[in-house]
């Protein structure tokens, strides 16, 4: 029997409605809903006076703007946002879970494409990367032609991807922040799913010159091609397809082999979240993350504004002072970035998040960090940096789905697990994305767009461990090429929105 509400921690003075609850319904003994309560929204367990703390997840979500009565619906209009946790002298290393305390992975190998160094590939793709948006139109047309005319002759290659982005020219290339988008593009060229084959197409007059993204030895006529060197459409297409064919011949010789989990690198993201995300989908993904980490894999979670209010909790999981300091540094940078733009962290959440019961960014953050599981944080990276350690990594990126995705891809993830409450058709072309929803209603509605529902955890009919196991199995099946997630089945792929915090000229 499905339950009516979820309480996260003993000290909480609110519960979350598992389904729409009509006014007058007895929620628990002696407690009746005083208004209609929408699914995923909060109900007060006791009278909370104006300025009193509203507590969920054992943390203060905010302070009541007016008197709240027992049984009242609590929504986003009723809370005052508390101060962000301080970034100074955060306690670290006090909550380090030992490997043997993590859930044991039921499988310890997968089938991937081994690379000379770094994580293995989950797909075998030819990636054609532009240096500048001006070349994007040509490359997209060329890729369609390559897929039509060449790809069928190379059955061991999974696809050809036009990696286009808005950066490259009309930008302040010497700006102190320019290394962020430049690093992202440089690392995309060497994504593990591209098997070390470099193919870069430039226009010829852009600011992002080849030497900014490639070492000297890789800037050869085998790897880079400049559109302004060619006489018109036919010559350009011929040059691109000929270069592509040489790469396809080599890629076609790659085969999957049985690999340890150590060679797998998985990213975690959530978007279109609701108040169930932190109850069902994110903790289940966190359980799968813990299994992966125990098995030696690398797992990255990100999204600065969605961890900012839980940063003191994450700091306790940092393995040393340096990692804690790096975490604080990334948060501080983002605080200043938001302030420079004249906004605060309350610019997040979205209208959809609020409709889904998330009152403010504190509540969203507490749900968001659950996808990191419980493992120690071994490294903190800036946007698009590649990890040098195995285990749980924090990679600082914006929380925006379409920016976080490409940033994690640039760091080298071979697969992303994406949790959603409201629903998004989001997908990435360079690596597969498994979508996990927080409520069964969404899975029923979007039966062919969502891969896994964690909704039974919200209703109390399945455990986090059971759904976590299902996610873990799907990660290994998708990474091994045995299964395709919904977004790949339909070719629903988002653009590579590279984060550029530097000025445009
Ligand atoms: Ca997101």
- Residue that has been written with the tokens 């125990």 in this structure: 294
pLDDT (0 to 100) of residue 347: 83
What's the CA-to-centroid distance between 146 and ligand 1, angstroms? Answer: 33
Distance CA 13, CA 153 (A): 63
Average pLDDT over residues 374-382: 98
What's the CA-to-centroid distance between 405 and ligand 1, angstroms? Answer: 8
What's the CA-to-centroid distance between 248 and ligand 1, angstroms? Answer: 34
Q: 121-173 pLDDT, tens per residue?
A: 999 999 999 999 999 999 999 999 999 999 999 999 999 999 999 999 999 99
Q: Is the pLDDT of residue 2 over 80?
A: no
What's the CA-to-centroid distance between 502 and ligand 1, angstroms? Answer: 21
What's the CA-to-centroid distance between 232 and ligand 1, angstroms? Answer: 41
What's the CA-to-centroid distance between 143 and ligand 1, angstroms? Answer: 29
Average pLDDT over residues 481-487: 97
Average pLDDT over residues 87-112: 97
Closest CA to 270 of 196, 364, 161, 175: 364
What's the CA-to-centroid distance between 365 and ligand 1, angstroms? Answer: 11
What's the CA-to-centroid distance between 349 and ligand 1, angstroms? Answer: 10
Return mean pLDDT, the chain: 96
Instruction: With beta carbons less than 8 A apart as the criterion, state whether 442 and 458 touch.
Output: no
What's the CA-to-centroid distance between 306 and ligand 1, angstroms? Answer: 8
Phi, then psi, of 90 in degrees rounded to 5: -65, 140
What's the CA-to-centroid distance between 67 and ligand 1, angstroms? Answer: 33
What's the CA-to-centroid distance between 235 and ligand 1, angstroms? Answer: 41
Phi, then psi, of 55 in degrees rounded to 5: -115, 125
pLDDT > 70 in the chain, percent: 100
What's the CA-to-centroid distance between 368 and ligand 1, angstroms? Answer: 9
Q: Is the pLDDT of residue 321 over 90?
A: yes
What's the CA-to-centroid distance between 398 and ligand 1, angstroms? Answer: 8
pLDDT (0 to 100) of residue 1: 61
Distance CA 315, CA 74 (A): 30
What's the CA-to-centroid distance between 270 and ligand 1, angstroms? Answer: 5
What's the CA-to-centroid distance between 207 and ligand 1, angstroms? Answer: 30
What's the CA-to-centroid distance between 265 and ligand 1, angstroms? Answer: 18
Torsional sign, CA 115, 393, 395, 474: positive
What's the CA-to-centroid distance between 427 and ligand 1, angstroms? Answer: 12
Instruction: With beta carbons less than 8 A apart as the criterion, state whether 298 and 378 touch.
Output: no
Burial (CB < 10 A; 0-12, 13-18, 19+), residue 120, is buried
Q: Which residues lie near ion ligand 1 (Cβ < 5 Å)?
A: 271, 399, 401, 404
């Amino acid at each position: 029997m499905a339950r009516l509400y979820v309480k996260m921690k003993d000290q909480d003075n609110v519960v979350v409605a598992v389904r729409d609850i009509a006014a007058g319904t007895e929620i628990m003994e002696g407690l009746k809903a005083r208004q209609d309560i929408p699914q995923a929204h909060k109900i007060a367990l006791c009278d909370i006076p104006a300025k009193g703390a509203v507590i969920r997840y054992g943390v203060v979500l905010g302070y009541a703007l007016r008197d709240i009565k027992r049984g009242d619906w609590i929504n986003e209009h009723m809370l005052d946002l508390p101060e962000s946790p301080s970034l100074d002298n955060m306690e670290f290393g006090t909550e380090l879970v030992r490997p043997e305390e993590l859930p044991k992975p039921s499988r310890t190998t997968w089938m991937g494409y081994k690379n000379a160094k770094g994580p293995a590939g989950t797909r075998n793709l030819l990636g054609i990367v532009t240096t500048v948006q001006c070349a994007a139109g040509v490359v997209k047309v060329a890729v369609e032609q390559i897929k039509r005319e060449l790809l069928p002759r190379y059955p061991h290659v999974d696809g050809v991807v036009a990696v286009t982005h808005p950066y490259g020219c009309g930008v302040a290339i010497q700006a102190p922040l320019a290394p962020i988008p430049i690093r992202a593009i440089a690392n995309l060229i060497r994504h593990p799913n591209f098997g070390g084959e470099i193919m870069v197409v430039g226009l010829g007059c852009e600011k992002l010159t080849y030497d900014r993204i490639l070492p000297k030895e890789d800037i050869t006529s085998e790897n880079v091609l400049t559109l302004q060197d060619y006489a018109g459409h036919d010559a350009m297409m011929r040059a691109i397809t000929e270069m592509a064919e040489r790469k396809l011949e080599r890629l076609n010789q790659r085969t999957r082999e049985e690999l340890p989990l150590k060679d797998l690198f998985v990213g975690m993201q959530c978007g279109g979240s609701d108040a169930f995300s932190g109850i069902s989908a994110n903790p289940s993904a966190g359980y799968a993350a813990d299994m992966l980490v125990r098995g030696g894999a690398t797992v990255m979670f990100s999204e600065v504004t969605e961890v900012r209010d839980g940063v003191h909790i994450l700091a306790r999981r940092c393995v040393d002072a340096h990692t804690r300091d790096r975490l604080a540094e990334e948060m501080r940078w983002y605080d200043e970035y938001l302030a420079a733009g004249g906004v605060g962290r309350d610019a997040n959440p979205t209208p959809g998040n609020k409709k889904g019961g998330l009152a403010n960014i504190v509540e969203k953050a507490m749900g968001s960090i659950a996808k990191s599981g419980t493992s120690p944080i071994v490294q903190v990276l800036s946007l698009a940096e590649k990890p040098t350690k195995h285990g749980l990594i924090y990679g600082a990126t914006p929380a925006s789905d379409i920016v976080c995705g490409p940033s994690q891809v640039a760091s080298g993830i071979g697969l992303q697990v994406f949790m959603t409450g409201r629903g998004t058709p989001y997908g990435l072309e360079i690596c597969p994305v498994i979508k996990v929803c927080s409520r069964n209603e969404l899975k029923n509605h979007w039966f062919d767009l969502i891969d896994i529902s964690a909704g039974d955890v919200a209703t109390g009919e399945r455990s986090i461990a059971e759904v976590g196991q299902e996610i873990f199995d799907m990660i290994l099946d998708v990474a091994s090429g045995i299964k395709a997630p919904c977004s790949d089945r339909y070719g629903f792929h988002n653009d590579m929105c590279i984060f550029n915090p530097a000025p445009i000229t």
